[in-house]
Amino acid sequence: MFYDKKEIHAKATKLYESSKVFLSYMEDEEMFPLLFKLKTLKQNDIMKNYQIVLDEVEYFKKSNLNIVYDEFHFKTIGSQKLPVEVVFETRNEFLSFIAKKSEFHQFIENYEKIVARYEVLKTLLRQKPKIIAQNFQNWERLLDVCDFFAVHSKPNVYVRELAIKNVDTKFIERNRATLDLLLSNILKCDEFDNSIINLGNYGFERKYGLKYPLPQVRFRILDDALKIRGLSDVTLNVDEFANLSIACENVYIVENQITTLSFPNMKNSIVIFGSGYGVGTLKNVQWLHEKNIYYWGDIDKDGFAILSQARGYFKNIKSIFMNEEVIDLFKEFGVQDDKNENVFKELKNLTADEQKVYDNLQNNFYANNFRLEQERLPFDYICKISF
């Protein structure tokens, strides 16, 4: 088609969705009258499609669009008066054409409501005008949340405990990203932690001083004399664990849960379930620095990466059962780890012996994608070894 109302509608809708109309309102800049240029026809186009062009021009006249015509002079077919532009004189005329008048009025209402309560948000709204339309139904509650934090920064309660009328836990969870944008512009620098960018792993709660479920630490006391009120298998959140005072000398951190549960009893010792890369949970537990710490992970690429990670927190940590002696004794228990495609260019915290084993794993020296899981080592062998 040469002159198509639907094409103009598509172009107008695209312009609207680009937020330029919203931006013109916020910045008080006039963008009307607005022109949409039409296709320029050549004599050949008209001659080949003469009747189609006539019909489309006639149909276009009846479209109620404000059409600008121009006179074209062709050698063969003479002068022809053809549409060259569609003009929208006013914003209302444009919005009515794409059926967005009501939506735009709601945008204005929300924008004025927001800046009336928080003028400081003007810059943000101009940078991200779509945020207004994306939250049409939520602005009253979003602003109520902002009001609460403006008065009660870093409240140190769970989201569930926030006393904000008509705002429930799920609303805040669903709208974390939007609330982060708003609060980070409204609050003063000392009222939130602006170093937190990622909202995953309870980032919103950590950033705005809310409580959140802390990582759990499971450990076993391996010496009956050290039991806590008769308890030996204990799970605490990491803050409570960090405040413990266990009079042990040795701490064993193991990668696997069943290994934690079956670890042999030992004098003056405890064993912690490190949960693979979850060993990072322990990094701020200061009393561990005073102990002899041992790490036992699977003999595979991830096992040594976790060991390197743990030694980044505790410089004195020693590895156990992760050496070539163990590989030589129990190589037949190794498996092929086809799922593990991790390649770590450099593990900075390995000893020379550990680095040698790790390099051999990388180079498939023992077997292709060799892996020796800690639970495959015979239990009697573990019990006979002393460290």
Same domain, 377 and 235: yes
pLDDT band at 235 (very low <50, low <70, confident <90, very high): very high
Last residue of a domain, one of 165, 186, 207: 207
How many residues in total does the chain contain? 387
Tokens, residue 138: 């939520």
Q: How large is the average pLDDT for residues 72-98?
A: 79
Same domain, 67 and 168: no
Same domain, 20 and 41: yes
Peptide bond before residue 378 is cis, with ω within 30 degrees of 0: no
Residue 386's pLDDT is: 61
Same domain, 245 and 371: yes
Domain count of the chain?
A: 3
Angle of the 101-117 helix axis to the 139-151 helix axis, nearest 10:
10
Place of tokens 């990072």: 280
Residue 58's pLDDT is: 66
Which structural domain range is residue 287 located in?
A: 216-384
Same domain, 233 and 95: no
Residue 387's pLDDT is: 55
Judged by average pLDDT, the poorest of 31-45, 65-79, 207-221 is 65-79
The CATH number that applies at residue 338 is 3.40.1360.10
For residue range 121-162, list pLDDT tens digits in order.
999 999 999 999 899 889 999 999 999 999 999 999 999 999
Residue 52's pLDDT is: 61
Same domain, 225 and 357: yes
How confident is the prediction for the chain on average, in pLDDT?
89
Same domain, 283 and 347: yes
How far apart (Å, rounded) are the C-alpha atoms in residues 305 and 341? Answer: 13
For residue range 217-227, list pLDDT tens digits in order.
999 999 999 99
Of 67, 63, 64, nearest in space to 85 by CA:
67
How far apart (Å, rounded) are the C-alpha atoms in residues 203 and 194? Answer: 11
Residue 266's pLDDT is: 93
Same domain, 226 and 366: yes
Same domain, 11 and 120: no
The DSSP code for 11 is: H
Q: Which residues pair with 87 in a beta bridge?
A: 35
Q: Are 76 and 110 in contact (CB under 8 A)?
A: no
Sequence-separated (6 or more) residues with CB below 8 Å from residue 243:
none
Same domain, 57 and 111: no
For residue range 320-379, list pLDDT tens digits in order.
999 999 999 999 999 988 766 666 667 899 999 999 999 999 999 999 999 999 999 999
**pTM for this prediction:** 0.71
Q: How large is the average pLDDT for residues 28-54?
A: 74
Tokens, residue 277: 């890369």
Same domain, 272 and 322: yes
pLDDT band at 79 (very low <50, low <70, confident <90, very high): low
Last residue of a domain, one of 173, 188, 207: 207
Last residue of a domain, one of 207, 224, 250: 207
Q: Which one-letter amino acid corresponds to residue 227?
A: K
Same domain, 271 and 343: yes
